[in-house]
């Protein structure tokens, strides 16, 4: 049943809608994500060194760095490790190329999401409504789109943002330390509940501490692996491009089935990793104090670039250059196989710890997305119940079947995208690239 529903949601229509909307916005903004890339880096990454307001705020609110770290925490979870490994085994090397395409067009999508989410932010007398919810209600004037989005987003926070992450954590902990998944789920649920009972500022501080350190260690390690197997790099890149266009390695020719599988898998895993087109990014960035639409959009673009173009690519190259893809392993074990080329027996522990910390940061960030949406529909009074449900799903996800959890996540991801993309198309003329 879930497989049938997943095929319906992730039909060619949604793939065309994602790519088409990203292309429309890219054309409207003159492919800024490519032509203005130096400007983007200067006003995001480099601004951390010369602009103090990026790191701190005057009124003790959520800083730009905390907002970025929280948003990166939501994207840089298991998608960068397990998601890439899954993409390679399910869609072949060519899926990585389509993850790149997803990211390039996704940069335009997240820029528009964050630009509009900040532009149409309003205070409704009780709380400030920002992000996707704001531009769907106040921008399009169609509140039903905002309600539909919030329903699917709150469910996605329990799927992709919760059960998928804890499932990867429990598998990693079980493989490395022999701890039963149920025990992992219970312990994690208690810790997560304690963290999410705090404010977005606490979540931002946790993310600001974890993500830069984790990302740095992970990037350096994968680069070392790739450099130590650099002789296999040309062949690896050739396999990615051949697979992307269905070119058979033996005898030439083109396979339509290979192309379709690569595109479908690459786009789905790309969306799972960078969340471009889903609308979650603007919910997280909307918490930033004194944000401007243009600046928020730039940071969101940098977020997608870091997540997919850098981290996902490095994971894929590490797996492929070491020859681990032919090992027959999947998921966490496949990634550990690649790291084992330089770490030996320690690779399983390194991979497991990386997944645990990345996924933990993702869990607490996605909780905030779910809370925003639940609060919008039902009000503040239901938040304590949502926290309990979120913690309960941590326990369930820990021992659920991997395939079932990923199917649920893909379904809610796709459903989230529909109202968000509809809003972007309706409001596309409001989006500007300012300098």
Q: Is the pLDDT of residue 54 over 60?
A: no
Name the residue range of residue 148's domain: 2-49+64-430
pLDDT for res 251: 46
> Tokens 């995208």 — which residue?
417
Buried b (16+ CB within 10 A) or exposed e, 47-75: beeeeeebeebeeebbbbbbbbbbbbbbb
Residue 118 resides in a domain = yes
Dihedrals φ, ψ of 43, to 5°?
Answer: -95, 5
Which token pair is 321? 């250059």
For the chain, the straight-line distance linking the first and the last C-alpha, in angstroms and rounded, comes to 49
pLDDT for 418: 94
Residue 249 predicted with pLDDT over 60: no
Q: Which residue has the higher pLDDT, 223 or 356?
A: 223
Partnered with residue 232 across adjacent β-strands are none
Residue 405 maps to which CATH number? 1.20.1740.10
Of the ranges 152-156, 304-308, 347-351, which one carries the lowest mean pLDDT score? 347-351
Q: Say what the pLDDT of residue 321 is.
A: 93
Q: In the structure encoding, which two tokens stand for residue 20, read together?
A: 């088409």
> In 3D, which of 61, 122, 22, 75 has the Cα closest to residue 287?
61
* Residue 225 lies inside a defined structural domain of this protein: yes
Number of domains in the chain: 1
Sign of the torsion angle spanned by Cα atoms 412, 418, 419, 425: positive
* 425 in a structural domain: yes
How would you classify the pairing of strands 128-129 and 122-123? Answer: antiparallel
Mean pLDDT for the stretch of residues 18-34? 93
Compute the distance between CA of residue 351 and CA of residue 367 in angstroms, rounded to an integer. 24
pLDDT (0 to 100) of residue 426: 95
In a domain, 435, yes or no: no
> What average pLDDT does the segment 180-194 reach?
91
Cα-based torsion angle of the residue sequence 412, 414, 419, 421 in order, rounded to the nearest 10 degrees: 150
- The yes-or-no verdict on residue 99 having pLDDT over 60 is yes
Closest CA to 221 of 299, 317, 361: 317
For residue 176, pLDDT over 90 is answered with no
Nearest alpha-carbon partner for 132 in 420, 425, 384, 434:
420
Residue 55 lies in a domain: no
Tokens describing residue 278: 């889903």
Specify if 334 maps to a domain.
yes
Which pLDDT score is estimated for 421? 95
pTM listed for this prediction: 0.86
| CA proximity to 207, closest of 279, 276, 288 | 288
Q: At what angle do helices 82-91 and 313-321 cross, to 10 degrees?
A: 60
Higher pLDDT, 291 or 62: 291
Q: What is the pLDDT of residue 250?
A: 44
Secondary structure (H, E, C), the chain: CHHHHHHHHCCHHHHHHHHHHHHHHHHHCCCHHHHCHHHHHHCCCCHHHHCHHHHCCCCCCECHHHHHHHHHHHHCCHHHCHHHHHHHHHHCCHHHHHHHHHHHHHHHHHHHHHHHHHHCCEECCCCEECHHHHHHHHHCCCHHHHHHHHHHHHHHHHHHHHHHHHHHHHHHHHHHHCCCHHHHHHHHHHHHHHHHCCCHHHHHHHHHHHHHHHHHHHHHHHHHHHHHCHHHHHHHHHHHHHHHCCECCCCCCECHHHHHHHHHHHHHHHHHHHCCCCCHHHHHHCCECCCCHHHHHHHHHHHHHHHHHHHHHHHHHHHHHCCHHHHCCCHHHHHHHHHHHHHHHHHHHHHHHHHHHHHHHHHHHHHHHHHHHHHHHHCHHHHHHHHHHHHHHHHHHHCCCHHHHHHHHHHHHHHHHHHHHHHHHHCHHHCCCCC
Are the beta carbons of 274 and 308 closer than 8 angstroms? yes
Question: Which residue matches tokens 């800083």?
Answer: 63
Instruction: Give residue 295's pLDDT.
Output: 86
pLDDT value at position 394?
Answer: 94
Mean pLDDT of 209-234: 85
Residue 28 lies in a domain: yes
pLDDT score for 146: 93
**Taking 80 as the threshold, does the pLDDT of residue 209 lie above it?**
no
Residue 207's pLDDT is: 57
Report yes or no on 103 lying in a domain.
yes
Instruction: Give percent of the chain above pLDDT 70.
Output: 84
Mean pLDDT of 335-356: 81
Cα gap 274→387, rounded to integer Å: 25
């Amino acid at each position: 049943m879930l497989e049938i529903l997943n095929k319906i949601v992730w039909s060619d229509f949604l793939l065309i809608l994602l790519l088409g909307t990203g292309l429309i916005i890219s054309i409207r903004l003159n492919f800024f994500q490519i032509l203005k890339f130096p400007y983007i880096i200067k006003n995001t990454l480099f601004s951390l060194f010369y602009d103090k307001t990026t790191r701190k705020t005057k009124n003790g609110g959520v800083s730009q760095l905390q907002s970025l770290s929280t948003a990166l925490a939501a994207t840089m979870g298991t998608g960068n490790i397990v998601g890439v490994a899954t993409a390679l085994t399910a869609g072949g090397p060519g899926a990585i190329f389509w993850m790149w395409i997803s990211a390039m067009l996704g940069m335009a999508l997240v820029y528009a999401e964050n630009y509009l989410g900040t532009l149409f932010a309003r205070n409704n007398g009780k709380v400030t409504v920002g992000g996707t919810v704001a531009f769907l209600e106040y921008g399009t004037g169609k509140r039903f789109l905002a309600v539909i989005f919030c329903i699917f987003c709150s469910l996605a926070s329990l799927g992709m943002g919760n059960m998928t992450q804890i499932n990867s954590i429990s598998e990693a902990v079980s493989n490395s330390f022999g701890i039963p998944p149920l025990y992992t789920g219970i312990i994690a649920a208690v810790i997560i509940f304690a963290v999410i009972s705090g404010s977005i500022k606490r979540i931002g501080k946790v993310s600001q501490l974890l993500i830069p350190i984790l990302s740095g260690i992970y990037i350096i390690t994968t680069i070392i692996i790739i450099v130590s197997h650099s002789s296999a790099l040309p062949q690896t890149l050739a396999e990615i491009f051949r697979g992307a266009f269905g070119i058979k390695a033996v005898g030439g020719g083109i396979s339509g089935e290979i192309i379709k599988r690569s595109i479908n898998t690459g786009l789905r895993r790309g969306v799972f990793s960078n969340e471009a087109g889903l609308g979650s990014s603007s919910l997280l960035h909307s918490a930033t104090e004194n944000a401007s639409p243009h600046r928020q959009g730039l940071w969101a673009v940098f977020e997608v670039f870091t997540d997919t173009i850098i981290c996902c690519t490095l994971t894929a190259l590490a797996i492929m250059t070491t020859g681990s893809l032919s090992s027959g392993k999947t998921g966490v074990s496949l990634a550990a196989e690649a790291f084992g080329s330089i770490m030996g027996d320690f690779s399983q522990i390194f991979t497991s710890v990386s997944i645990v910390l990345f996924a933990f940061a993702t869990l607490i960030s996605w909780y905030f997305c779910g809370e925003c949406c639940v609060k919008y529909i039902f009000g503040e009074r239901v938040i304590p119940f949502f926290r309990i449900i979120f913690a309960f799903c941590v326990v369930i996800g820990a021992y659920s079947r991997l395939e079932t959890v990923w199917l649920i996540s893909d379904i809610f991801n796709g459903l989230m995208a529909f109202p968000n993309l509809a809003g972007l198309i309706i409001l596309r003329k409001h989006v500007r690239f300012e300098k």
